[in-house]
Amino acid sequence: MSRREYPLSLSINGRKIKKVVIDPHYEEKHSESINDELILELVKLLDGSRAEPEKRVDGFEYFASDNLLLDDKLYKLVWLLEDNAIYIGIVNAHRR
Domains delineated in the chain:
4-95 (3.30.2310)
- pTM, full prediction: 0.93
82's CB contacts (< 8 A; 6+ apart) are: 59, 60, 61, 89
pLDDT value of position 28 = 86
Residue type, 38: L
**Per-residue pLDDT of the chain in tens (96 residues, 90 and over written 9):** 799 999 999 999 999 999 999 999 888 888 888 999 999 999 999 999 999 999 999 999 999 999 999 999 999 999 999 999 999 999 999 998
pLDDT of residue 31: 83
Bridge partners of residue 73, in order along the sequence: 70
Q: What is the pLDDT of residue 4?
A: 96
Task: Give the separation between CA 39 and CA 31, rounded to whole angstroms.
Answer: 11
